[in-house]
Amino acid sequence: MSQALVSDQARLSILCVLGASLAFSLNDITVKYFTDSLPLHEVILFRSLFGMAFILFLFGRGVPFKTMFSTRRLLRHILRGLSVVVANFAFFAGLAALPLAEASAIFFIAPLLITGFSAFFLGEYVGVWRWTALLVGLLGVLIIVKPGSAAFQWAVILPLLSAIAYATLHTITRSMGLAEAPITMSLYIQLVFIVVCLGMGVMFGDGRFEGLGHPSAEFILRAWAWPSGRDVLLFVAAGFFSASGGYLISQAYRSSSAGLVAPFEYSTIILAVLWGYIFWQEVPGLSSAFGIFLIIASGVFVAIREFKRQVPPASQKLSARR
């Protein structure tokens, strides 16, 4: 393969991951828009329905319907789906009470946690430098959340829980190997979303548990309401952003090494800072900015380290992240 072709593939991969970061960040602000109006499980239900439609349209043409859902690992698909459900609900509930940039930065400890989980649960080798990077990233999280200070909010636990759930998701995915088709894995995630959200609608949809006062709890437990035409358009947009983001990030990692692509995923945090300022006038303080820098630096370091080692990365892509 010529050097020019390799260079073209690298540029295309970088454009794909930047496009995915834009799509995921737009998905985040679309869901955050509903924090004061509709319940989270209603928003995610409609997003998943439209997301599944886009997945079938983008990836399912020419594939027999039965083949899409054919699997011998149903339990693992369910566990993956539940991990994504926990991650989504925790992250978006956190957005009801936290600035977008800080919640996104805390979430991006996930690639570092995947490194640690891969060592503990899959027996993969992780050297001292990557363990050090993990500790630095955790230090960045502590700087952002400020435990023990007057500025501490319990809501910061939610994006951290989201990161842990996503690390669990990708640990399960790695244990499944390459035997499952990407469309099968994507569709089962959407199915679990739909089933869980319908169940939550039955339990919480009448608003019997609302009124707790905390914005994160209200976002989850609020009574269902009939969406407006504008709401439906935003549901369609969220479904498109979620499906297209997953497609673009998959293309990026399919065409180039993770060491090249992964550092550009952290552009999501930069976009979160931008959107937070534009839509909610949120500006990170100096300590939060320093914590965000530590998380980005440690994640990029791990990606570059794995690229130099030329092995499949422990901190693999977050292709299903939101």
Rg (CA), the chain: 19
Q: Rounded to the nearest 10 degrees, what angle do helices 267-280 and 258-265 cross at?
A: 20
| pLDDT value for 219 | 96
| pLDDT value for 94 | 96
Residue with tokens 């937070």: 276
- Annotated domain spans of the chain: 9-309
Report which of residues 189 and 314 the model is more confident about.
189
| pLDDT value for 6 | 47
pLDDT band of residue 272 (cuts 50, 70, 90) is very high
Report which of residues 19 and 253 the model is more confident about.
19
311 contacts 302 by C-beta, under 8 angstroms: no
Q: Which value, to the nearest 10 degrees, does the dihedral of the CA atoms of residues 271, 277, 280, 285 take?
A: 100
Lowest mean pLDDT among 26-35, 280-289, 305-314: 305-314
Burial of 136 (0-12, 13-18, 19+ CB in 10 A): middle
List the one residue out of 189, 218, 190 whose CA is nearest residue 204.
218
Amino acid at 27: N
| pLDDT value for 318 | 47
- Helix (H) or strand (E) segment spanning residue 139: helix 128-145
Q: Measure Cα distances from 106 to 26, 111, 251, 292 in Å.
A: 18, 11, 26, 8
Residues 146-157 have a mean pLDDT of 76
pTM, whole model, 2 decimals? 0.85
Indicate the average pLDDT of the chain: 85
CA distance 159 to 108: 9
Termini Cα distance of the chain: 35
pLDDT tens-digit profile of 45-71? Answer: 999 999 999 988 887 777 787 788 888
| pLDDT value for 151 | 62
CA distance 296 to 239: 27
Residue with tokens 């828009």: 33
